[in-house]
Chains A and B, each alone.
Chain A
Amino acid sequence: MTVFWVDELHERYLHYDDLLRELKDRDKRHPVVYSKDPSEVLIETLLAMLGDAELTLLDPEFTDKTLRSLGYGGDDSFQTKPAPEVQIDDVEELVTSLANTADQWSMTLYTSGTTGTPSAVDQTFAGLTRTIRRGERFDGHVWGFAYNPTHFAGLQVFFQALMNRNTMVYLFEMSPDEIGRLIDSYGITHISATPTFYRLRLQQFTGVYETVERLTSGGERFEPSLRDSLHESFPNAEFRNVYAITEVGSLLESDGELFKIPEDRTEQLTISDDSELLIHESLLGEGVTDDVEGDWFHTGDIVEFVDQDHFRFLGRESDFVNVGGYRVNPHQVEQRIYSVDEIEAAVVYARESSVTGNVLVADILPADGIDEETAIAKVRETVDELERWKRPRKITVVKDIEKSRSGKRVRRDDNS
């Protein structure tokens, strides 16, 4: 019997038979799922689909404060409901019934949105599985699962693997050594991950892993040198770069860092005069109203053409920075620091990082009579309530905040 899910971190090892039993035996399900165990997230997703029931997935990285701001603070947010009666005896039946019954079914995911505050997006099963391929040639694939399962890309890998009865091996929170061992032990053939994951984990490999047939990446800029170094560890792997956003899913594919809008997509994708990638609203999931102007959704992703057709992604629009794949607005963090009584002024800005693309840092000016140590401690206390990627990783006390500010970023009102 094929293995369904291997996760050494959460000590989960399930065959497809075990999955069917889990689905059959559970008498409760959760309409709102907030779990650090990825297999729980995925099993709850299947239960909701089979029962044609509502489902919201919350990122396990969300802080209590974020959860409260989204209305999920109290215990009553995480109620249970009776699970549907599942009478499915084999995996083929499961796959067929998922494919047949769930076309109009939708779930709620959260995207970081342009304000950096998570916003809800409804995703239909049809949208989630638009790019999923099935068939005999996908038999026997073994997936390295290297995403957060509440993110669109993680769900795509999940359904791609499940619909082809493939094995998934959880790699996301593992160290490079453990990942290397897991690739060898389970003969992993496919890995899909963000460039940050490749940069920090797979690039450190010294061994050669011949079982891997394909590496897929997306979400951030992917430099050619990273691809070269991956090729040394994975000599048999084809490389695919995918541009996807939570609101829509996969949109563009390439074998390197250059992309081209396919001919059948020219009505739906375009590059604005400001070099921003725009998406026609007809492609959007329900509930997306932010950032739509006229018929076009502004992705905030800025591109650079290298010839008439081909472009590469340069990054996000100016106010936002990408910290390890997360979109962060430094001004929002700055405002948070201003709420600290012991602080007179602050400026938060991004510094380039070879590790995460960017990292936030803060310069602060303590209020009168407040010493440096107290000021830093108070700011740290406040920013510790934010998601980890939003926290300034260095806090420096300065004597003149205006000097600091003008040196870090140009203010729009500087010329007025």
Chain B
Amino acid sequence: MYMPEETSPEQETLKEIINDILEKKEGASTVENLSEDTSLTADLGFDSLDLAEMTVQLEDEYGVDVFEDDIVDQVSEVLEKLNK
């Protein structure tokens, strides 16, 4: 039986935000699954404006600026910031 990998609510929200950005991005397509080792820049093609948008959305949702102290790039790093 196929058991989908369990995802946290944060991961679900992050996926929604990322897909919202990808939907508007020229030449990009949305993702069905967001694995923890996905790189925002290398795998999803996010540029600085996309990262800024993601940060604003996450800040409103969780009150955390994920880029405040240093640069994060992997999904796992973003989730770690949100769960701190």
Interface residues in chain A, defined as those with a beta carbon under 8 Å from any beta carbon in chain B: 175-177, 196, 199-200, 203-204, 229, 323-324, 351, 353-356, 359, 361, 380, 384, 388-389, 393-394
Whole-angstrom distance between the alpha carbons of A324 and B47 in the complex?
A: 10
Which residues of the partner chain B approach A177 to less than 8 Å between Cβ atoms?
42
Size of the B side of the interface (Cβ < 8 Å), in residues, is 20
Contact for A359 among B24, B41, B56, B70, CB less than 8 A: B56
- Counted as pairs of residues, one from A and one from B, with CB atoms less than 8 Å apart, the total is 61
Enumerate B44-83 residues with CB–CB distance to A below 8 Å. 47-49, 51-53, 55-57, 60, 65, 67-68, 70-71, 73
Given contacts A200-B71, A204-B71, A361-B56, contact A355 B41 (CB under 8 A): no
Q: A176-B41, A384-B24 are in contact. Are A351 and B56 (CB under 8 A)?
A: yes
Q: Are A380 and B53 in contact (CB under 8 A)?
A: no
Choose from A176, A199, A356, A361 the contact partner of B49 (Cβ within 8 Å): A356
A388 partner residues in chain B, CB cutoff 8 A: 49
Partner pick for B73 among A196, A204, A354, A359, CB 8 A cutoff: A204
A203 and B70 CA atoms in complex are apart in Å by 9
Q: Measured between C-beta atoms, what is the minimum distance from A400 to chain B in Å?
A: 18
Q: Chain B residues near A353 (CB, 8 Å)?
A: 52, 55-56, 67
Contact A200 B48 (CB under 8 A): yes
B67 proximity list for chain A (CB < 8 A): 353-355
In the docked arrangement, what's the CA distance between A310 and B52, Å? 32
| Chain A positions within 8 Å of B70 at CB level | 203, 229
List B contacts of A393 (CB < 8 A): 49, 52-53, 56
Contacting pair B65 A324 (CB below 8 A): no
Contact of A200 among B51, B60, B65 (CB under 8 A): B51
Q: Which A residue sits closest to B53, measured CB to CB?
A: A393
**Residue from A204, A354, A384 within 8 A of B55 (CB atoms):** A354
Q: A355, B52: Cβ atoms under 8 Å?
A: yes
Say how far B34's CB is from chain A's closest CB, in angstroms.
Answer: 18
With CB as the reference atom, state the residue of chain B lying closest to A357: B52
Out of A196, A229, A380, name the residue touching B48 (CB < 8 Å). Answer: A196
Which A residues are in CB contact (< 8 Å) with B24? 380, 384
Partner of A175, one of B41, B52, B55: B41
Q: How far is the CA of A388 from the CA of B51 in the complex (A)?
A: 13
* Inter-chain contact B53/A394, CB cutoff 8 Å: yes
Do the beta carbons of A355 and B73 come within 8 Å of each other?
no
**How many whole Å from A180's CB to the nearest CB in chain B?**
11
Decide: A356 and B41 in contact? CB cutoff 8 A: no
With CB as the reference atom, state the residue of chain A lying closest to B26. A388
Complex CA gap A229/B60 in Å reads 28
Q: Which of A199, A324, A356 contacts B71 (CB 8 A)?
A: A199
